[in-house]
Amino acid sequence: MEVCTKSRQFAVFRIISIIFLLESIAWKVAESRFIRKEETINFSAISCRKHIALLTDFGGVGDGKTSNTKVFQSAITQLSKYASDGGAQLIVPAGKWLTGSFNLTSNFTLFIDKDAVLLASEDEAEWPALPALPSYGKGRDAPAGRFNSLISGTNLNDVVITGNNGTIDGQGAVWWDKFHKQKLNLTRPYLIETLYCHQVQISNLTLINSPSWNVHPTYSSNVLIMGLTILAPVDSPNTDGINPDSSSNVRIEDSYIISGDDCVAVKSGWDEYGIKVGLPTEHLVIRRLTCISPDSATIALGSEMSGGIQDVRAEDITAINTQSGVRIKTARGRGGYVKDIYVRRLTMSTMKYVFWMTGSYGSHPDPGFDPQALPKIANINYRDMIAENVTYSARLEGLKEDPFTGICVSNVKINLTQKPEELQWNCTDIAGVSSRVTPKPCALLPEKDIDCPFSEERLPIEDVQLKTCSVKY
């Protein structure tokens, strides 16, 4: 699709004051004649937009020092007028763009060019305070609430955050320091969050040094996450990669994550708050991921899972120097469930645990949780994996009054470190079967000649086709 950039920019300018309009055009002409030649960018997205604008059209300054928070917000507010007329795309061109939190709009694309860096402000005043999420009840770092995320969307339809590998730098060090010194009155911000959004794409970006979690789709559906490079120091606190939370039809693929916490953490709310909201994460596909996380999991399910987690398919994943492969974390008081989990073709090297489940994770929002609210963990399937340099093959710990059932492990070859632990399969309060697994699993997973199932029925999110968008600017 060939796009006539100029006429589209005129359309955008109509909503800006006439003086600013003339100045911008003069500047743009001058720029394209004397500063740089026009570029065409091609990229894939769920939707292409009719109206195209640059952050500089709205007065953005890419010097790494000037705050652009108001510029982003006013650009997006003005472009939101095109939601019902083919939508709009805001291009962040080359430069360093300092900004605090801002909100997206519907039928909208934020495009971060390859030499563009969004620098997250270190100033708390640039981050509006919000109440805790309803399914969490309390903030995770501090009970009062939380800072809005850097790039945030609420109640939107059709929103794309992409780029040809442009960067979002969370400048997290100042936040990690406040976290360690317990100087936070609110929970740290995330880099990208969608709440109650439908048709979401987050792709082809590099996210570095997030203050906390990187990507947090919540109460959302039809979410595509692809081509992300997520980097944070391995000792940075809670820098989870991608956290689908109370969301359905989510596809996460082709991403590379090094972080201080779980590479992917699947969640659905915390104790009595999550039970009350009751929104599960379901119909989730995770594939072609590389993960390095020495103190956390490749894929964690929980620990906040009170709205339930079901129908998760994970495949073709590589983990290196990571604490565990798949980890299920839950506790008395969570309620909810983790069921119908299918994982295959994980390749792991230098792992403390290949498999880990725990029913006594603890960590409660407040003393108001109901200890009788027991989580149901069932139908967990692991197959076709190899692992080397492993310390413990598995630690599978259910709850005495609430055993974890339907665990199946087949065709898994685990090679141990030079000094492996003696008890390779430490199982309590679980039930299931195993087949062709070395070292030999515990007696609670007796040998049965089967292949563990993997759900082969395709999800609608797997068939979403992207369009090629071509934009000249």
Ligand X SMILES: *[C@@H]1O[C@H](CO)[C@@H](O)[C@H](O)[C@H]1NC(C)=O
Active site residues: 261
Pairing of strands 297-301, 309-329: parallel
Q: Least distance in Å: CB of 87 to ligand X? A: 6
List all residues 6 or more positions away from 7 whose beta carbon is below 8 Å from its beta carbon.
Answer: none
Using CA atoms, how far apart are residues 297 and 293, in angstroms rounded to an integer?
7
Task: Compare residues 16 and 427 and give the one whose CB is closer to ligand X.
Answer: 427
Tokens of 80: 């939101």
Using CA atoms, how far apart are residues 36 and 432, in angstroms rounded to an integer?
64
By CB under 6 A, name the binding residues for ligand X: 40, 42-44, 73, 83-84, 103, 106-107, 128, 130, 148, 152, 154, 157-158, 162, 165, 185, 203-204, 206, 226-227, 229, 350, 386, 388-389, 391, 395, 397, 415, 417, 423, 426, 428, 466, 470
Q: Least distance in Å: CB of 280 to ligand X? A: 23
Task: Compare residues 5 and 165 and give the one whose CB is closer to ligand X.
Answer: 165
Amino acid at 229: T
Tokens of 357: 């489940």
Task: Give me the sign of the Cα torsion angle 79, 224, 247, 118.
Answer: negative
Q: Least distance in Å: CB of 133 to ligand X? A: 11
215-218 sheet: strands from edge to edge: 102-103, 151-154, 192-195, 215-218
Q: Least distance in Å: CB of 48 to ligand X? A: 11
Task: Compare residues 282 and 353 and give the one whose CB is closer to ligand X.
Answer: 353
Helix (H) or strand (E) run with residue 13 in it: helix 5-13
Task: Compare residues 241 and 308 and give the one whose CB is closer to ligand X.
Answer: 241
Contact at 8 Å (CB) between 464 and 224? Answer: yes
Backbone angles phi, psi at 164, to 5 degrees: -90, 70
| 399, β-bridge pairs | 402
Task: Compare residues 66 and 154 and give the one whose CB is closer to ligand X.
Answer: 154
